[in-house]
């Protein structure tokens, strides 16, 4: 069945697993959270850490590169509505929607002994990380006091493997991991040629992504293209 390109995509947040080899992948055993209304904006912040410590007797010091810091992401306008204005089919309470969001990004994972790593996916935008801050502003209520609407502000810190951090710190190493969403008409050799300038890597990329039928890529599929070694 063909997928309509006119369908509006919504921001989705899914729990992830981080493997012993440093790779991150979506945990398909847990339900993902999909927003009711896409955010009007989001903010990415990139920063670099410099060592500015002076030595004894030194009148001034030059800033020396220390590390590239993980990216941060913030959005402060996620609306969860329980009035029925936004969503009627399968409508749940605002409390249930808030709890579903917290189950993905905030609640303590007893198996991992920490909150989940998460993936935010919205169209071509992909972000991996963990939540740092959550603010929930309840604005409308039933006579019973049950909330009818909430505005949620979220702050995330990005995930970066040690290997990728080292590559980002080394300007002579252009080979970084790429996460690519398959579009209509994409083939694995075409994507390999786009990223590596060599289509012959398609078999290795298929193996890494556990693709059994790499000749028929489904639009919307997220593929990992590792750095060349």
Domain ranges of the chain: 9-46+67-169, 174-229
CA separation for the pair 79, 35 (Å, rounded)? 8
pLDDT above 70 covers a percentage of the chain that reads: 79
Average pLDDT over residues 166-190: 68
Per-residue confidence (pLDDT) for residue 169, from 0 to 100: 52
Query: What value does the mean pLDDT take over residues 20-38?
Result: 86
Q: Looking at the predicted structure, is the pLDDT value of residue 151 above 80? A: yes
If pLDDT is split at 50, 70 and 90, which confidence band does 1 have?
very low
How far apart, in whole angstroms, are the C-alpha atoms of residue 122 and residue 57? 53
Examine the pLDDT at 68 and tell me if it is beyond 60.
Answer: yes
pLDDT of residue 73: 96
Can you list the alpha helix ranges (DSSP code H) found in the chain? Answer: 94-105, 162-169, 188-196, 202-208
Q: 31-35, 62-66, 182-186, 211-215: which range is least confident on average?
A: 62-66
The predicted model gives 215-222 an average pLDDT of 86
Lowest mean pLDDT segment, chosen from 68-77, 80-89, 168-177: 168-177
What is the topology classification, in CATH, of domain 174-229? Membrane-bound Lytic Murein Transglycosylase D; Chain A (3.10.350)
Other C-beta atoms closer than 10 Å to the C-beta of 60 total: 5
pTM of the model: 0.64
């Amino acid at each position: 069945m063909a997928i309509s390109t006119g369908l509006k995509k919504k921001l989705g947040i899914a729990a992830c697993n981080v493997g012993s080899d440093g790779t991150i992948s979506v945990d398909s055993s847990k339900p993902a959270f999909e927003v009711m209304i896409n955010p009007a904006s989001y903010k990415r912040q990139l920063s670099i850490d410099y060592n500015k410590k002076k030595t004894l007797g030194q009148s001034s010091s030059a800033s020396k590169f220390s590390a590239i810091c993980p990216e941060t992401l913030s959005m402060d306008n996620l609306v969860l509505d329980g009035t029925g204005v936004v969503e009627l089919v399968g409508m749940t309470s605002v409390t249930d929607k808030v709890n579903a969001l917290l189950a993905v990004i905030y609640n303590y994972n007893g198996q991992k002994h920490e909150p989940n790593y998460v993936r935010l996916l919205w169209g071509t935008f992909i972000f991996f990380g963990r939540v740092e801050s959550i603010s929930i502003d309840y604005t409308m209520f039933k006579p019973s006091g049950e909330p009818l609407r909430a505005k949620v502000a979220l702050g995330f810190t990005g995930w970066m493997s040690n290997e990728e951090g080292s590559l980002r710190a080394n300007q002579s190493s252009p080979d970084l991991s790429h996460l690519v969403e398959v579009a209509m008409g994409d083939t694995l050799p075409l994507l390999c040629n786009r990223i590596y300038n060599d289509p012959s890597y398609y078999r290795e990329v298929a193996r890494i992504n556990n693709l059994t039928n790499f000749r028929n890529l489904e639009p919307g599929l997220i593929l990992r293209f590792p750095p060349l070694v």
